[in-house]
Amino acid sequence: MNTFGNLYRLTTYGESHGAAIGGVVDGMPAGIAIDEDFVRSEMARRRPGQSTLTTARSEADEVEFLSGIFDGRSTGAPIGFIIRNTDTRSGDYDAAALWYRPSHADYTYDQKYGFRDHRGGGRSSARETAVRVVGGALAKLVLAQKGISVKAQLLQVGNETTAEGMEALIRCVKEEGDSIGGVVGCTVTGCPAGLGEPLYGKLHAALGAAMLSINACHGFDYGSGFDGIAMRGSEQNDALVRHSDGSIGTATNHSGGIQGGISNGEPICFRALFKPTPTIMRPQQTVDKEGNVGTLAMKGRHDPCVALRAVPVVEAMAAMTILDYYMMDCAARPFHTPSPQP
Binding test (CB under 8 A) with its own copies, winner from 9, 46, 47, 174: 9
Residue 75 binds its own copies (CB under 8 A): yes
- The minimum distance between CB 3 and its own copies, in angstroms, equals 6
Between residues 60 and 231, which has the closer beta carbon with respect to its own copies? 231
* Phi, psi (deg, nearest 5) at residue 252: -120, 180
Backbone region of residue 127 per phi and psi (left: phi > 0; alpha: psi in -120 to 50; beta: other values) = alpha
- The minimum distance between CB 43 and its own copies, in angstroms, equals 18
- Amino acid at the residue 210: A
Residue 138 binds its own copies (CB under 8 A): no
- The minimum distance between CB 342 and its own copies, in angstroms, equals 10
Between residues 42 and 124, which has the closer beta carbon with respect to its own copies? 124
Q: How far is CA 103 from the centre of its chain?
A: 20
For the chain, what's the residue count?
342
DSSP state of 128: G
- The minimum distance between CB 302 and its own copies, in angstroms, equals 9
* Phi, psi (deg, nearest 5) at residue 44: -60, -35
Between residues 46 and 123, which has the closer beta carbon with respect to its own copies? 123
Binders of its own copies in range 166-185 (CB under 8 A): 173, 176, 178-183
Q: How far is CA 243 from CA 46, 256, 264, in A?
A: 38, 18, 14
Binders of its own copies in range 200-259 (CB under 8 A): 200-202, 204-206, 208-209, 212-213, 218-226, 228-234, 236-242, 246, 248, 250-251, 254-256, 258-259
Binders of its own copies in range 20-59 (CB under 8 A): 20-24, 26-27, 29-33
Q: How far is CA 303 from CA 170, 178, 311, in A?
A: 9, 9, 14
- The minimum distance between CB 57 and its own copies, in angstroms, equals 18
Between residues 43 and 269, which has the closer beta carbon with respect to its own copies? 269
To which H or E segment does residue 249 belong?
A: strand 248-250
Binders of its own copies in range 90-109 (CB under 8 A): 100, 102-105, 107-109
Q: How far is CA 172 from CA 46, 167, 176, 178, 303, in A?
A: 22, 9, 6, 9, 13
